[in-house]
Amino acid sequence: MSILASIVLMLLFVGITAYVGARGIIIAVAGLLGVLVGQLAVGDGATWVHYLLYVVLIVIAVVTTFEPVRRAVSDKIFDIFKKVSPAISETEQAAIDSGTVWWDGQLFSGKPDYQVLLNYPDPKLTEEEQAFIDGPVEELCSMIDEWEVTHHTKNLPPEVWQKIKDIGIWGMIIKKQYGGLEFSQYAHTQVLRKLNSRSATAGVTVMVPNSLGPGELLQHYGTQEQKDYYLPRLAGGEEIPCFALTSPHAGSDAGGIPDYGVVCKGDYVDPITGEEHKDALGIRISWEKRWITLAPVATVLGLAFKMYDPDGLLGDQFGGKKDIGITLALVPTKHEGVNIGRRHYPIGSPFMNGPTCGTDVFIPIDWIIGGVERAGKGWPMLMECLSIGRCISLPASGVTASKASAYATALYSRVRDQFGLAIGRFDGVGEALARIAANAYISEAAQDLALVALDMGENPSVISAILKYHLTEQGRQSVNDAMDIHGGRTVVLGPRNPLASAYQAIPISITVEGANILTRTLMIFGQGAIRCHPYVLKEMTAAAENDAAAFDKALSGHLHFVLVNVSRSFWLSLTNGVFASSPRSGAVAPYYKKVTRLSANFMTLVDMTMGSLGGSLKFKEKISGRLGDVVSNLYLATAALKRFERDGSPKEDIPLLQYSVERALSEAETALDEVIRNLPNRFVAFIARLLILPFGKRLHGPSDDLGSKVSTLMMEDGPTARRIAQGLYVGQEDEKENYTKLLVHAREAVIKSEPVEKKLRKIEREDKFETFSPRNRLQEALDKGWITQQEFNDVSESRKLKRYVIMVDDFDMELNQYDENLLDRFVF
Pairing, β 260-269 against β 276-293:
antiparallel
Looking at residue 111, the DSSP 8-state letter turns out to be S
Q: Comparing C-alpha atoms, which of 367, 447, 365, 369 is closest to residue 403?
A: 447
Amino acid occupying residue 330: L
Per DSSP bridges, beta strands 353-364 and 300-308 are unpaired
Look at residues 87, 84, 86, 99 and name the one whose alpha carbon lies nearest to residue 523: 99
The answer to whether 652 and 718 have CB atoms below 8 angstroms apart is yes
Q: Determine phi and psi for 593, rounding to 5 degrees.
A: -65, -40
**Taking the CB of residue 597, how many other CB atoms lie within 10 A of it?**
25
Question: Which is nearest to 231 in space by CA: 205, 210, 202, 206?
Answer: 210
Q: Which helix (H) or strand (E) holds 461?
A: helix 461-486
Residues in CB range of 124: below 8 A, 6 or more apart: 186
Rounded CA separation 444/137 (Å) = 20
Q: How far is CA 813 from CA 492, 568, 816, 818, 819, in A?
A: 15, 69, 8, 10, 12
Question: How many whole angstroms separate alpha carbon 753 and alpha carbon 756?
Answer: 5
Name the helix (H) or strand (E) containing 197. Answer: helix 185-198
Say if CB 602 and CB 594 are below 8 A apart. no
| Residues belonging to the chain | 828
DSSP letter for each residue of 619-647: G-HHHHHHHHHHHHHHHHHHHHHHHHHHT
Which pairs with CB-CB distance under 8 Å and at least 24 residues apart come from 751-756?
751/414, 751/717, 752/794, 752/798, 753/791, 753/794, 753/795, 753/797, 753/798, 753/799, 756/787, 756/791, 756/794, 756/795
User: Which run of H or of E encompasses 464?
Assistant: helix 461-486
- DSSP for 748-786 reads HHHHHHHHHHHHHHHHHHTT-----SHHHHHHHHHHTTS
Which H or E element spans position 285?
Answer: strand 276-293
- How far apart are the C-alpha atoms of 351 and 203, rounded to whole Å? 9
Classify each residue of 29-49 as buried b or exposed e, where b means 16 or more C-beta atoms within 10 Å of its C-beta.
Answer: bbbbbbbbbbbeeeeeebeee
- Residues with Cβ within 8 Å of 311's Cβ and at least 6 positions away in sequence, in order, are 263, 264
Helices 378-415 and 789-806, axial angle in degrees (round to 10): 140
Helix (H, G, I), strand (E, B) or coil at 546: coil
The residues pairing with 332 across neighbouring beta strands, listed in sequence order, are 300
Element (H, E) at 52: helix 48-65
- Rg over alpha carbons for the chain, rounded to the nearest Å, is 31
Beta strand residue intervals within 321-394, DSSP E:
323-332, 353-364
- 254 vs 62, 166, 221, CA distance in Å? 50, 34, 20
H helices within 199-345, ranges in order? Answer: 200-207, 214-221, 224-235
> Does 513 qualify as catalytic in the annotation?
yes
What does the alpha-carbon distance between residue 7 and residue 5 come to, in Å, rounded to a whole number? 6
Nearest residue to 617 via CA among 77, 86, 110: 86
Give me the catalytic one of 129, 216, 513, 539: 513
Quote the CA–CA distance of 398 and 480 in Å, as a whole number. 13
Catalytic residues: 513
